[in-house]
Amino acid sequence: MTSKQRAYLKSLASKEDPVVQIGKEGLTPENTAAMQEALTARELIKVGVLQNCFDDISELANTAASRTRSQLVQVIGRKFVLYKEGKDDKKKIQLPPAAK
């Protein structure tokens, strides 16, 4: 993912509210399934980490990205943004072309 594409996704995510909340239990299979489902439906999601979760947010975001097979766009405060490109027939987000 290029920096231009990442910036575009960040601008889209800035208007979104968190879709999934991670609480004191940390990253559970239920959270992962909810993120996977949301990524399939939306392609770009914002995830909130509640105050009672004491896990490292960057580590949590990287783990969530690997479990959902998505890309981590950004970590900001107690939130992070994930992107997973949709199938060709169901694409919702058109990324700017990568420079050659």
Q: Which two tokens stand for residue 99?
A: 């420079």
Residue 95 lies in a domain: no
What local confidence, expressed as pLDDT, does residue 99 receive? 67
Residue 78 structural domain: 3-85
Residue 98 confidence (pLDDT) above 80: no
Residue 90 confidence (pLDDT) above 80: no
41-85 pLDDT, tens digit each:
899 999 999 999 898 999 999 999 999 999 999 999 999 999 998
The angle at the Cα of 95, spanning 92 to 97, to the nearest 5 degrees, equals 145
Domains in the chain, number: 1
What CATH number does the domain containing 25 carry? 3.30.110.60
Please tell me the number of Cα atoms within 13 Å of 13 on its side-chain side.
25
d(CA 95, CA 3): 11
Residue 31 lies in a domain: yes
Q: Which two tokens stand for residue 84?
A: 């997973």
Residue 29 lies in a domain: yes
* Pairwise pLDDT comparison (99 vs 62), residue with the higher score: 62
What local confidence, expressed as pLDDT, does residue 17 receive? 92
- Using an 8 Å Cβ cutoff, are 39 and 70 in contact? yes
Residue 93 lies in a domain: no
